[in-house]
Structure formats: C-alpha cells, structure tokens
C-alpha cells in the first residue's frame, strides 16, 4: 500500500551560459537548475531536476522583471507545489499533477501579476517535482525499465530506436562558421530560431525581412551537404518562431522568401508561428506546422490538431513534465500526428530523461531516424562539469558521432529511474 508524502526539499544552482542566448526576441545569459527531493512514509523517495526558462515559458514575465527576479518567482511556484504535496497519499504522478496544478497556477498568476499567465510557466516549475514523483512510482512498482513504467499511461509509446539524430540550435547570433562546423559533423536537422527583434524595435516587417535573409544565408551554407538520414538526401530545417508572427499573411511572406532562395522544400517543421491564444488556423501552409507553447494538455492537443490544423507536436518532458507529455502523445498518436522531443537547454541528466521518450516515439516525415534536440553543449559554460555530474560522462548516447546519438547501450545502462 502506498504511503503518504511526508518530507520535501528544494535547492537550485545558477548555470552561466557561454554567451547570451536569443529567442522570442529576447536574450538570457544564465539558467537556473532546480533540484527537489520527495520522501514517502513507506521509505520510498525520488530526486527530481528541472531547468527554468522563464523567457520560453512566459516572455512577458521575463521582460517585466529582472532575470533573477523572474527566476525566483518560478522557483517559488516549485516550492508551492512541494508544499501542496505534503500530507497527500502517493497515487501516481499524473493524478497528483492534476490535483496540484490549479492551485499552483493561481499562485503563479498572483505572484507574477499576470491573470493570463500561460500554463507553460507553471509546468516548467513543476518539472523537478514530476520527475521525482516518477522515480517514486518506479520504486513503488519495483520497475527499472522506462517502458514498463509508462506503458499503462501511454501504450502508444512503443518504439525502440537504435539511434537518435542530434538537433542543435541555430540561434539569432550563431555565426556562419559555427553552422558549417555542425554540418561537417554530420548534423542533418538544423533547428533555426526565427522571429528576431533586430535593433530592439519590435518592428514585425523588419523581423520578417531579417528572417528571410537569415534562412537564405543558412540554406546557402547547408545546400551542398549530403546525408543518409533524410528522404531528400540533404540536411533539412526545423524552424521555431516562438509565436512571433502575427498573421497568416506575414508568415506567407516569409515562406515565399524561403521558396525564393530554395529553402522551402527543406523545411520539415515550422513550430509555433503564432501567439498561443491567436486561434489562427494553420491549414494550407506549404510546410508542416507544429505546436509547442500552445499545447499544455491533452485537451489542447486535440483542439490544435482537430480545429486549428496542426500537423506535429513538440513533446517536452523536460519543460512541461513527463506526465503532461504522455497525455499529449497519447492523443496525438491516436490521430496519426507525429511528435518529437524538443529541448530547453538542459544538462546531461535531463537530456537522458528526454531521450527516454524520444527513443520510443515515431519518426518525423522527411526523416529516416528518430531525433532529439540537444543544445546544452552549445550553450552551457560548464558543460564538461555537468557531464561528470550525470554519472555517465563518457556514455556514447551523450556524445553524438556523425550527427547521431548511439543508443546501443542506452536501454540497459541509462537508469534515470533511480531515486
């Protein structure tokens, strides 16, 4: 019989980045990593980790406060969640997340002063808590295998890839020589941030022109490379707009620009072009549109797929919790909609957590292998130290070769379920 949650704790570290990291028209130069422990009266325990990205979760809160202030508010929501769990009987992570989410959201809205606070802000704060709860669930069921742990919640997650393509990030300030170096290493899917804010003027026409020039520059570099991992035989592109486009017409102008330089046919995904509450239908675009921030529940996934025409979904166990990601994937798989695992600039331990999902879901059309986004090595100043903290500093699945993570030993040796 499951026990009662009786003890919780929370700590955090501030991890500096190599250089300012730009997206959503803004920049951050450090990420807070949160660590929690949850102990149950029957002796079981779990240790969870999370990475806070307020700029991703809610750009308004990031802009309206100092970077440290915004992070402190998100950490306070994690603390609130842990407090709400104390005294509750341990059931399963998904049920417990549903129980505490409404009160956490109300608290976060009060704290930030934002009555329309996106659910992503709260989910980002709940990741370490959810991680710890899944470790306890594994201990309760005496499970050491990720598939066995999640099967009853999401039976559709039944793949077992032998390798995963690495997806690095091409940010606003990634230089041409850096992009070329990635392509020489065998990278075949480039995630490119669009929606820049040149000059800080928030001029959307200027943004669109900048994005067109940017995709043309990158395509000129990538066009001559070949790869066995895509249907077209060349590197392909995954564009992330983070909701920066305001209308179908402006996005169509950008895509016309991509077509003019020859890049359009290489775009396999265009993620979150419009603000999450815009209600803009994404059907009849010449590229596959994926949802990310606009999808924070199974209900959101159904609405975006059936009513708004989304053709792919970004899963983020490392940003929206594994609990929510399983519920979203179950609905997407039922409707034949492909999913992929996106990053939040996480350290190696959380990359392994993300890989557990990425290794078990289907393949994006246009590709010949599964993929997982990982840009931590590009952005963390102390990446080598973080590798050592993972306990698997030399593991093949953490060091891509020729653009691919080798999962030969991953399933037997990567134990993220330890509590």
Question: Are 137 and 245 in a shared domain?
Answer: no
Provide the percentage of residues in the chain whose pLDDT is more than 90: 91
pLDDT greater than 60 at residue 183: yes
Question: Are 255 and 315 in a shared domain?
Answer: yes
Exposed e or buried b per residue across 58-76, where buried means at least 16 C-beta atoms within 10 angstroms of its C-beta: bbebbeebebeebbbbbbb
* Residue 305 near residue 284 (C-beta atoms within 8 A): no
Question: Are 225 and 255 in a shared domain?
Answer: yes
Question: Are 175 and 56 in a shared domain?
Answer: no
Residue pLDDT, tens place only, 21-50 = 888 878 899 999 999 999 999 999 999 999
Query: Angle at which helices 119-140 and 93-112 pack, to 10 degrees?
Result: 150
Q: Which residues are registered as beta bridge partners of 267?
A: 237
Question: Are 409 and 368 in a shared domain?
Answer: yes
- What does pTM read for this prediction? 0.95
Residue 377: enclosing H or E segment and its boundaries?
helix 376-379
pLDDT at position 277 is 85
**From the DSSP assignment, how many helices (H) and strands (E) are in the chain?**
15, 13
Question: Are 136 and 227 in a shared domain?
Answer: no
CA distances from 402 to 23, 187, 282 (A): 27, 7, 34
pLDDT greater than 80 at residue 385: yes
Record the tokens describing residue 359, joined without a space. Answer: 């290794």
* Residue 28 near residue 55 (C-beta atoms within 8 A): yes
Half-sphere exposure of residue 146: CA atoms within 13 angstroms, side-chain side: 24
Question: Are 47 and 108 in a shared domain?
Answer: yes
pLDDT greater than 60 at residue 365: yes
pLDDT at position 407 is 96
Domain boundary among 108, 141, 174: 141
Question: Are 183 and 113 in a shared domain?
Answer: no
CA distances from 282 to 42, 192, 194, 247, 274 (A): 50, 20, 17, 10, 9
Question: Are 82 and 226 in a shared domain?
Answer: no
How far apart CA 34 and CA 49 sit, in angstroms, is 6
- 152 lies in a domain? no
- 335 lies in a domain? yes
Confidence of residue 418 (pLDDT cuts 50, 70, 90): low
pLDDT at position 368 is 98
- The domain tally of the chain equals 2
The domain in which residue 73 lies consists of: 5-141
Domain boundary among 74, 106, 141: 141
Question: Are 104 and 200 in a shared domain?
Answer: no
Exposed e or buried b per residue across 83-112, where buried means at least 16 C-beta atoms within 10 angstroms of its C-beta: ebbeeeebebbbebbeebbeebbebbeebb
Residue pLDDT, tens place only, 116-136 = 999 999 999 999 999 999 999
pLDDT greater than 70 at residue 339: yes
Residue 236: enclosing H or E segment and its boundaries?
strand 236-240
Question: Are 207 and 128 in a shared domain?
Answer: no
Domain boundary among 141, 176, 208: 141
Domain of 126: which CATH number? 3.30.390.10
């Amino acid at each position: 019989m499951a026990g009662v949650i009786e003890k919780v704790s929370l700590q955090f570290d501030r991890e500096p980045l190599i250089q300012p990291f730009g997206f959503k028209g803004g920049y951050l130069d450090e990420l807070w990593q949160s660590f929690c422990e949850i102990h149950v009266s029957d002796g079981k325990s779990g240790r969870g980790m999370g990475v806070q990205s307020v700029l991703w979760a809610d750009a308004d809160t990031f802009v309206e406060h100092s970077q440290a202030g915004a992070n402190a508010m998100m950490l306070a929501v994690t603390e609130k969640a842990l407090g709400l769990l104390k005294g509750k009987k341990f059931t399963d992570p998904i049920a417990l997340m549903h129980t505490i989410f409404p009160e956490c959201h109300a608290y976060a809205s009060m704290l930030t002063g934002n009555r329309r606070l996106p659910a992503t802000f709260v989910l980002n704060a709940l990741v370490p808590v959810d991680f710890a709860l899944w470790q306890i669930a594994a201990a309760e069921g005496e499970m050491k295998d990720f598939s066995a742990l999640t099967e009853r919640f999401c039976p559709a997650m039944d793949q077992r890839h032998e390798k995963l393509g690495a997806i690095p990030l091409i940010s606003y300030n990634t230089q041409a020589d850096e992009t070329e170096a990635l392509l020489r290493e065998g990278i075949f899917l480039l995630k490119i941030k669009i929606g820049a804010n040149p000059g800080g003027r928030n001029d959307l026409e200027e943004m669109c022109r900048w994005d067109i020039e940017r995709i043309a520059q990158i395509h000129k570099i990538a066009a001559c490379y070949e790869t066995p991992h895509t249907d077209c035989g060349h590197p392909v592109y995954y564009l992330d707009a983070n909701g920066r486009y305001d209308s179908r017409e402006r996005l169509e102008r950008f895509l016309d620009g991509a077509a003019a330089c020859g890049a359009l046919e290489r775009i396999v995904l265009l993620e979150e072009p419009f603000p999450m509450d815009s209600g803009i239908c994404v059907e009849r675009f010449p590229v596959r549109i994926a949802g990310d921030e606009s999808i924070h529940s199974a209900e959101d996934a159904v609405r975006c797929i059936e009513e708004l025409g989304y053709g792919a979904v970004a899963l983020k166990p490392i940003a929206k919790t594994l609990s929510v990601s399983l519920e979203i994937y179950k609905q997407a798989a039922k409707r034949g909609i492909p999913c992929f695992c996106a990053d939040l600039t996480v350290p190696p331990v959380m990359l392994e957590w993300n890989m557990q999902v990425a290794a078990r879901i289907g393949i994006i059309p246009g590709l010949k292998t599964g993929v997982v986004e990982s840009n931590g090595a590009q952005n963390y100043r102390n990446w080598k130290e973080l590798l050592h903290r993972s306990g698997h500093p030399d593991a093949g699945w953490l060091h891509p070769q020729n653009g691919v993570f080798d999962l030969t030993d991953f399933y037997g040796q990567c134990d993220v379920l330890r509590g």
